[in-house]
Structure 1
Amino acid sequence: MRIYVIGPVSNIENDNRPAFEQAARELHEALGCEVEIPHDTIKPGTGWEEAMHQSLSRLAKADAVAMLDGWTSSRGACLEFQVAEILRHYGLAEVRTVKEWLDGAPKAA
């Protein structure tokens, strides 16, 4: 399974990379799956429209989506969520918050 993380980026120090990286680490450790964040493929300084094209393309290839806290305040993350919900509707992706993914992860014995 490959999870794509969405959340606020614009107008946040370091493009909110630390929060994305922490979520990716926690999801990988808890679920043992591949996790991708936009920062992995979108170069710093890329314009919003191009960044959204790239992000939506990567999201569409994921098996699941995880939303960071604060995603609803981000225009881009709201757009990504709408696409993720369409994918979910057709059985093409699971969509949850990072916390929901982590709360549902199997507990170590």
Structure 2
Amino acid sequence: MTLYLSGPMSGLPDFNYPAFHAAADRLRTAGYHVINPAEHGVHPEWTYADYLRQDLLQLLTDADAVAVLPGWRTSRGTHLEVAVAHALSLPVASLTTWLYRATATSTLVLEGRPV
């Protein structure tokens, strides 16, 4: 499953990239494929709209679901990404929820139970 990672960036120190990278690492370790918008890096010539276009394109074309970071409710970009996900009937859940689901699924598979 490919998760699009969504959360607040604008106005935060280092654009909140450390939180994005840490979350992506945890999700990948749990077995997910992750689209991490922080991996685009900083492009001084890009506007907010340029970043949003790139992020929405990846969400629209490559994501199976969305993982939201803490503080996402304060982010207008994340609100838009979540609205798009809902319009596409993509599941949206917190980082913690996706990590729990991966652990629960792994446990069930290891114990030979159907998922």
Q: Which TM-score band (shorter chain)?
A: 0.7 to 0.9
One-letter code aligned to 1:105: A
Letter in 2 for 1:39: A
Alpha-carbon RMSD: 1.6
Asked if 1:58 corresponds to 2:55, the answer is no
User: 2:69 maps to which residue?
Assistant: 68
Instruction: Say if 2:96 is the partner of 1:84.
Output: no
Unaligned runs of 5+ residues in structure 2 are 108-115
Secondary structure of the equivalent of 2:8? coil
Unaligned runs of 5+ in 1: none
- Computing the radius of gyration from Cα coordinates, the structure with the larger value is 2
TM-score (norm 1): 0.86
* Distance in 2 of aligned mates of 1:14 and 1:103: 28
Of 93, 99, 103, which aligns to 1:106? 103
Q: Does the residue aligned with 2:88 lie in a helix, a strand or coil?
A: helix
Q: Distance in 2 between matches of 1:39 and 1:52?
A: 12
Q: Percent identity?
A: 38
Tell me if structure 2 keeps the 8 A contact 1:42–1:51: no
Give the structure 2 partner of residue 17 of structure 1. 17
Aligned length: 104
Question: How far apart are residue 95 of structure 1 and its match?
Answer: 1.4
Shift of 1:104: 1.6
Q: TM-score, normalised by structure 2?
A: 0.82
Q: More helix per residue: 1 or 2?
A: 2
CA contact (8 A) 1:67 1:98 kept: yes
Taking the aligned partners of 2:41 and 2:87, their CA distance within structure 1 comes to: 23
